[in-house]
Structure 1
């Protein structure tokens, strides 16, 4: 990992994102989905909701760092609640 100056948490983060994308690709092939309309009033698929979740989680973590600055693992809990809400209602 030294050739890119990555830390193990950074590498794990990108491995988890890559794995998630692979799982969602397999799900899309095995179980095709029709778009559904949620709270936002737009039609979304699983992939759309994943993208919304990842983007929102990035902003949640940035805001957490800016406002609180410490106890970043608690931001993960907020992100998980956000992800559940997105996949349930969006």
Structure 2
């Protein structure tokens, strides 16, 4: 896999995604989830909210790169706030 840019940030990104998926699997087994109705007025589960958070974070990072450029520390802070908001209200 020499064609891929396996840098430390790339490995940390994919490792974090893998850990989140494992954590949410364990949570779903240990504490069965019930869908809840949030601000968007449709039922979501923890997994749905994780997916919305990851998808929105990808767009936040793309917009940040297009407008501000690197580094992405500000985008990371925005993504964390966005994820917190999604889990709290969606």
Q: TM-score range by the shorter chain?
A: over 0.9
The residue number in structure 2 matching 1:43 is 43
State how many pairs are aligned. 90
Which deviates the most, 62-71 or 19-28?
62-71
Any unmatched runs of 5+ in structure 1? none
Taking the TM superposition and a 5 Å limit, the aligned residue runs for 1:1-90 are 2=2, 4-90=4-90
Using the alignment, how far apart are the partners of 1:31 and 1:83 within structure 2? 21
Q: What RMSD, in angstroms, separates the aligned Cα atoms of the two structures?
A: 1.4
5+ residue gaps, structure 2, are none
More helix by share: 1
Q: Deviations 1:44-79 (Å, cap 9, x if unpaired)?
A: 000000000000000000000111113410111100
Structure 1 residues 47 and 8: CA distance shift in structure 2, 3 A: same
Give the TM-score taking structure 2 as reference length. 0.93
